[in-house]
Amino acid sequence: MQTTFSIKPCRFGDLFRLLSVCFLIVAGDVTAADLGATSEQQYGFYNDTKHGWFWYENPPLEQEEQANTPLPPIKEPRIIPSLDSYSIDELWNMYPDDFQELLNVLQKKAVQTPSEQSILEYLTMQDIARRKALAYTNATMYVTQKYGELFNVNHVYPTAGPGVTARVSMQNDEIVQTINRAGNDHALIFFVSPGCGFCEKQAGILSYFVDKYGWQIKTVDISRNINSAARFNITITPTLLLIKKGQNNYMPVASGVIAMTELERKLYRAIRLLQGNTREDTFLMYDFQKGSAFDPTSILNKGEQPWKSSD
């Protein structure tokens, strides 16, 4: 009978470890139990070769870290309010923020559970809110009528037909008079550029303006007068600029084509600003509106406190 030997390849490191273990057993320094433990420790890497040295795994949490991990908060059950807890007087006198919060909750309650009771509660809150708004409107009309001089602007800005006609006439008269008086020491600079069709349209409108007021208008071509355009920061044509004799201040009037009526209004306001007759906070106000509810700062000059009782 022929015996066949099978020789398996063995790595040098494995052979060395095997010889070392055998030597320790012969010397009596290692018991069988130690041998099992040593084998598990020494050959643990080879028994779990799939992990290798670069097997990326999260390290196990330390017991201390696990003990310190906060537990998720316990969500308390939502408390749904009911109108049974309130009287009509309490709801009527409730602070608006609290009333709005309760109204929102009852609305969501009615949507979530559209029962007769929940919808009735929500509509009751809506009705109270409507009545409170109606009461505020009535009280406001009473106060504005009683203290008409303070809050009513109808005497300087009427809305009825005859009043509107009178107001427009007063505004136009003030505009025309202001522009006529300013013609002697004010002038307009008209910035244009070659091939600008809008400039031609604006020039036609300015011819009517000159015929009506007799003002001096200087036309400046920004392509030829680059320094002038840079001095006044002109980048758009047509542009109208108001200057006053003896002053370095100036005021833009319009950029782009502007109609005659709008030109007069804008020029009127610019003249008043350069003359010191108006400020930024009263820029749109006319002279006949001074001291009225259309005068923003007139309340500062009166020194009155109408909300205080006379007792």
Quote the pLDDT of residue 67.
61
What one-character DSSP code corresponds to residue 236? S
- Cβ atoms of 181 and 275 closer than 8 Å: no
Strand 186-192 versus strand 239-244 pairing type: antiparallel
What's the token pair of residue 281? Answer: 């906070």
pLDDT given at position 64 = 58
Chain centroid to Cα 294, Å, comes to: 28
Could you tell me whether strands 239-244 and 217-221 are parallel, antiparallel, or unpaired per DSSP bridges?
A: unpaired
Extents of the domains making up the chain: 16-41, 86-142, 161-286
Let me know: does 106 contact 84? Beta carbons within 8 Å.
Answer: no
Kindly give the residue spans of alpha helices, DSSP state H, lying in the chain: 12-27, 32-42, 44-47, 63-68, 88-92, 96-112, 116-146, 148-151, 161-182, 197-213, 226-231, 260-275, 298-302
Strand-pair category, 217-221 with 250-255: unpaired
- Contact between 241 and 188 (Cβ < 8 Å): yes
Beta bridge partners of 240: 190, 254
Identify the pLDDT of residue 6: 45
- Tell me if residue 64 falls in helix, strand or coil: helix
pLDDT value for 106: 94
Point out which residues pair with 219 in neighbouring strands: 190
- The values of phi and psi at residue 186, to 5°, are -130, 155
Please, are residues 92 and 132 in contact by the beta-carbon 8 Å criterion? Answer: yes
Length of the chain: 311
CATH topology for 161-286 is Glutaredoxin (3.40.30)
pLDDT by 10-residue block (mean), the chain, 311 residues: 48 53 52 52 53 55 63 75 91 96 94 94 96 95 83 80 91 96 94 94 95 94 91 93 90 94 96 93 90 82 67 53
CA separation for the pair 151, 304 (Å, rounded): 14
pLDDT for residue 5: 45
| CB hemisphere CA count around 95 (13 angstroms) | 3
Q: Which sign, positive or negative, has the C-alpha torsion 269, 275, 280, 283? A: negative
CA dihedral 88, 93, 95, 97 (to 10 degrees): 40
Q: How buried is 61 (Cβ within 10 angstroms: 0-12 exposed, 13-18 middle, 19+ buried)?
A: exposed
Rounded Cα–Cα distance for residues 129 and 142 (Å): 20
Query: How far is Cα 138 from Cα 306, in angstroms, rounded to an integer?
Result: 19
Helix axis angle, 260-275 to 197-213, nearest 10° = 70
